[in-house]
Amino acid sequence: MALQRRRHNNYQRIRIRLLIPLISGVAAALLVLFSLLSILAPSPNDTDHLRHFYTSSLNATPDDAITTPVFRVPRGGGKMDRHVWSSRNSEHFHGCSDAGNKFPKAQVITQANRYLMIATSGGLNQQRTGITDGVVAARILNATLVIPKLDQKSFWKDSSNFSEIFDVDWFISYLSKDVKIIKQLPRRGGKTLSSYNMRVPRKCNERCYVNRILPVLLKKHAVQLSKFDYRLANRLDTEYQKLRCRVNYHALRFTNPIFSMGEKLVHRMRMRSKHYIALHLRFEPDMLAFSGCDYGGGEKEQKELGTIRRRWKTLHRSNPDRQRRQGKCPLTPEEVGLMLRALGYGSDVHIYVASGEVYGGEETLAPLKALFPNFHSKDTIATKEELEPFSPFSSRMAALDFIVCDESDVFVTNNNGNMAKILAGRRRYFGHKPTIRPNAKKLYRLFLNRNNLTWEVFASSVRTFQKGFMGEPKEVRPGRGGFHENPSTCICEDSVTKVEKTSGPRKFGKDNTNRKNVTNNDQDVDDESEWPDMDDDEDQGDEKGMFNETISDYEALNSEDPELEEILSD
């Protein structure tokens, strides 16, 4: 019995000695595997950045707690075949708006006793179009222009006058060779000359002004054109188009207080990063109510936006799915963020957001902030005391955003209102700085099906759909779209580049780049005629032939409600 116990103990000791090397080997292998996993696993920061990536919070109810990732967004965004901070071949294009030798000086053509006054309409950028076109209208009529009146009674309720937003002395001086401009109507017999008020049709061309306005001006001597926005045709003589550019891009300069504060905001963004993106988000409740789109908020959202919509009797809820399919819905903040990451902008990029009240507040912005933690606005990079002189005035606050957006390396617009149009044209004129417009119609299905896609497929599709919507030179055909958005008459191409292109094979038919003084064949997007017998020979062709063209948010509005148009315009 004792012998058996000794044999059993010896057998156990032998087994243990044999197992020790095996256990050590397994432990070593596990240690190596753990080390490899530690190296390859995402950092805690990566996990935090990706935690947002679930079925959109806008599609979830407050009681939902969905945290299952759908696909992983890399910190570096997507890969691109272009530099993300510049436009391809932009160095070959430059703004050129000098008057031609055959464009007479103002002193030669201005007639006595012809005074034109302009009463603008809407927010800052809508009024800017009116000011620009008002100068051209005065030139067409050979009249003296009185400094335009800014709209102080619109939805924006801004009491600012022209000289409180724009440098009035610079404006008069810069345009002195083109149009005679005075600050107020002259006095006659101890009284200020009174003006006759009238309205010009939308998209009125040179002949329209001469036939309709000039006879009244000759009789009354002073005429004020009210609600002056988009009252000048897109298609004008080349010299008039160039005058438009001189006004918009050179003569209209913000006052020193606005400019200095705007430059201070730009400097603070540059201190944070060498490059930055400016985003005009346009996700305000009024904007969404007008769009008639669904954003996944269920009955609560429908009730809230429906209440806003009922403020305007002519605004009815349309088919939300159809609106989305046609690209008429603004992207959600999360969708904008995903688009930018797919285009190659990593999570370290700094974003300046120009926006009013965002529908849903911080909950709506959370996915965008998760994708781009370096999230700024004028309220976060300036003190309340610094903004105090501007905050009571909506146009002055909009001017600050305008400056920061204009100076940005990349500008992203989530709509096609006046600010987006003016900045797009300005950025084309001054070097084709990238201006990204979401191709909402194509991106719609992509966002709808994103849960079934890998990140690589999603990002590749975004880059494909965004070709032609990135602010590249010649992205929009010359003469197409609104002139303020596409000032092709005022953009010149280096002659060397022209030679290189014309000597090679032509893919798009006859090359007309070398033709001079060709009338701009701009098509009218907004074709409103208040006078049925208007003498306007403009081509009122179908816009379906246009490509990369977006319709202004309020141009699709079947309403004569001026307040709603003003809300949506900027």
Phi and psi at residue 363, to the nearest 5°: -65, -40
Strands 93-95 and 410-413: unpaired
Residue in 232, 206, 201, 243 with CA at minimum distance from that of residue 129: 232
**Coil, helix or strand for 225?**
strand
Cα distances (Å, whole numbers) of residue 477 to 29, 42, 160, 489, 546? 64, 45, 37, 11, 8
Instruction: State whether the Cα torsion 427-465-344-356 is positive or negative.
Output: positive
Report yes or no: 204 and 231 within 8 Å, Cβ to Cβ. Answer: yes
Q: Report how far residue 211's alpha carbon sits from residue 13's, in angstroms, rounded to the nearest whole number.
A: 115
Q: Where are the alpha helices (DSSP H) in 292-393?
A: 298-309, 320-325, 333-342, 361-371, 378-381, 384-387
Tokens of 49: 């950045």
Q: Give me the tens of pLDDT residue by residue for the chain, a chain 570 residues long.
A: 555 555 555 555 555 565 556 566 656 566 555 554 444 444 334 333 333 333 333 333 333 333 334 567 887 765 554 588 988 888 899 999 999 999 999 999 999 999 999 999 888 999 999 999 999 999 999 999 999 999 877 666 789 999 999 999 999 999 999 999 999 999 887 788 899 999 999 999 999 999 999 999 999 999 999 999 899 999 899 999 999 999 999 999 999 999 999 999 999 999 999 999 999 988 888 787 777 777 777 788 788 887 877 777 666 666 767 777 777 788 999 999 999 999 999 999 999 999 778 888 899 899 999 999 999 999 999 999 999 999 999 999 999 999 999 999 999 998 878 999 999 999 999 999 999 999 999 998 899 888 889 999 999 999 999 999 999 998 888 878 889 999 999 999 986 555 555 444 433 333 333 333 333 333 333 333 233 323 333 333 333 333 344 334 334 444 445 555 555 555
pTM beyond 0.85, yes or no: no
Report yes or no: 127 and 152 within 8 Å, Cβ to Cβ. Answer: no
Instruction: State whether the Cα torsion 173-174-176-182 is positive or negative.
Output: negative
Report yes or no: 517 and 100 within 8 Å, Cβ to Cβ. Answer: yes
Q: Report how far residue 365's alpha carbon sits from residue 353's, in angstroms, rounded to the nearest whole number.
A: 11
The residue type of 23 is: I
